[in-house]
A and B are shown apart, each in its own frame.
Chain A
């Protein structure tokens, strides 16, 4: 026991409860339910050494971009004209405890309302995992104070429910490019077409006057309504001169099963860039 004169010790421990990881793996990170089966499943895996308490909930939300091009989740209290599935997609179980190195399958079942029109409906799945209570270090002093913080991690992933004929695409507007330091900031407005979210990849390629690729980026994204995202491309070390930035959108995602991706025509645009 270490004690300053007249002073009790406070032993403060962790945001995280222990050195062992607290939290769960969630797979897949995007869920699609087809109206013909009306169900899907996600797998949760506890990589930690302590049981994880997990709850699953749904709410309505969709990605938008703010004025700087950062993504954020719009969560209107009422979806209005937007197609929400939050009220009728349910998770089973909604609450579970997953033991160390164990997995749990969570079923997602849709109880669609009567007369549901063809189209794609959206919701978000929130998986909340709470690790074991922080291990309280018991001070040997009779007047000791013990302090601990419990950790809770939440993972939010998208779910799309598709019924009947669904189509998608993204209208890509000409990119705006500004130079900030040794990088190019690329903004491009994208407007969804059809009746389903566009899920794909934005690829940017910077080529010099000799048509040689001198920089590139590849960003997975989704266009639910419209977005104006920001991309960053390093131009450090590039000589002054005229370049061309090619931006293209394709309905391809290496991280998602192909059958989950709606087909869409690729779109491409370009803009000249002058580096002083």
Chain B
């Protein structure tokens, strides 16, 4: 639900440099599908406590409006140029504030979402996904980068 910008927030974003110092975004844990079998699609939900990818961000304070946007790969890069398709579904991202009573919010990582911080100035974002190895997918390790961009609005 849209909320009016608080006065304190407006002061914080008055210049880009100080505001940037107030915003912290960190990659915490890789999205790790682990061993996947040729020909068998494998999904990792954002709620997976071990395999889901995790980010952490801290905003200047309560009431801050932020936009979360991912830059997602469509393929993981493997041995000798092999590529492994990866996709992300409607509920493959989950955000939750660090306050004890915070409830998780699921969203589609393929699009941007805008939130206003209510119960805590910081939050974690988890991301899941799905890889679809072909029946003749080259064996070996595959990797690519997921970028989260958090913007104070």
Nearest to A47 among chain B residues (CB) is B40
The residue that A43 contacts in the complex, of B37, B79, B139, B140, with Cβ under 8 A, is B37
Contact with A along B113-147 (1 / 0, CB 8 A): 00000000000000000000000001111000000
Give the B-binding residues of A (Cβ under 8 A). 25, 27-28, 41, 43, 45, 47, 103, 254-258
Q: How far is the CA of A28 from the CA of B37 in the complex (A)?
A: 8
The residue that A27 contacts in the complex, of B37, B79, B138, B140, with Cβ under 8 A, is B37
Knowing that A25-B40, A254-B139 are A-B contacts, what are 11 other residue pairs whose CB atoms are under 8 Å apart, sorted by A's residue number?
Answer: A25-B37, A27-B37, A28-B35, A41-B35, A45-B37, A47-B40, A103-B40, A256-B139, A257-B140, A258-B79, A258-B140
The residue that A45 contacts in the complex, of B40, B139, B140, with Cβ under 8 A, is B40
Nearest to A101 among chain B residues (CB) is B40
Q: How far is the CA of A25 from the CA of B37 in the complex (A)?
A: 9
Contact with A along B10-29 (1 / 0, CB 8 A): 00000000000000000000
Interface residues in B72-128 (C-beta closer than 8 Å to A) = 79
Give the A-binding residues of B (Cβ under 8 A). 35, 37-38, 40, 79, 138-141
Contact A257 B139 (CB under 8 A): yes
Interface of B is mostly: mixed
How far does the Cβ of A75 sit from chain B's closest Cβ, in whole Å? 28
Q: How far is the CA of A103 from the CA of B37 in the complex (A)?
A: 10
Q: Which residues of B contact A254 (CB under 8 A)?
A: 138-139
Q: Can you show 22 pairs from A to B with CB atoms below 8 A apart?
A: A25-B37, A25-B40, A27-B35, A27-B37, A27-B38, A28-B35, A41-B35, A43-B35, A43-B37, A45-B37, A45-B40, A47-B40, A103-B40, A254-B138, A254-B139, A255-B139, A256-B139, A257-B139, A257-B140, A257-B141, A258-B79, A258-B140
Nearest to A25 among chain B residues (CB) is B37
Nearest to A41 among chain B residues (CB) is B35
Q: Which residues of B contact A47 (CB under 8 A)?
A: 40
How far does the Cβ of B55 sit from chain A's closest Cβ, in whole Å? 26
Q: How far is the CA of A106 from the CA of B9 in the complex (A)?
A: 51
With a 10 A CB-CB cut-off, give which of B37, B38, B140 has the most chain A CB atoms.
B37
How far does the Cβ of B49 sit from chain A's closest Cβ, in whole Å? 14
Top 7 closest pairs, chain A to chain B, by CB: A27-B37, A43-B35, A257-B140, A45-B40, A257-B139, A25-B37, A45-B37
Q: How far is the CA of A49 from the CA of B140 in the complex (A)?
A: 29
Q: Which residues of A contact B40 (CB under 8 A)?
A: 25, 45, 47, 103
Q: How far is the CA of A253 from the CA of B141 in the complex (A)?
A: 15
Q: Which residues of B contact A256 (CB under 8 A)?
A: 139
Nearest to A28 among chain B residues (CB) is B35
How far does the Cβ of A258 sit from chain B's closest Cβ, in whole Å? 7
Nearest to B42 among chain A residues (CB) is A103
Q: How far is the CA of A258 from the CA of B78 in the complex (A)?
A: 12
Nearest to A44 among chain B residues (CB) is B37
Nearest to B140 among chain A residues (CB) is A257
Q: Which residues of A contact B35 (CB under 8 A)?
A: 27-28, 41, 43
How far does the Cβ of B27 sit from chain A's closest Cβ, in whole Å? 25
Q: Which residues of A contact B141 (CB under 8 A)?
A: 257
Nearest to B37 among chain A residues (CB) is A27
Q: Which residues of A contact B38 (CB under 8 A)?
A: 27
Q: How far is the CA of A103 from the CA of B40 in the complex (A)?
A: 10
Q: How far is the CA of A257 from the CA of B82 in the complex (A)?
A: 13
Q: How far is the CA of A47 from the CA of B38 in the complex (A)?
A: 13
Q: How far is the CA of A43 from the CA of B37 in the complex (A)?
A: 8
With a 10 A CB-CB cut-off, give which of B38, B139, B140, B141 has the most chain A CB atoms.
B139
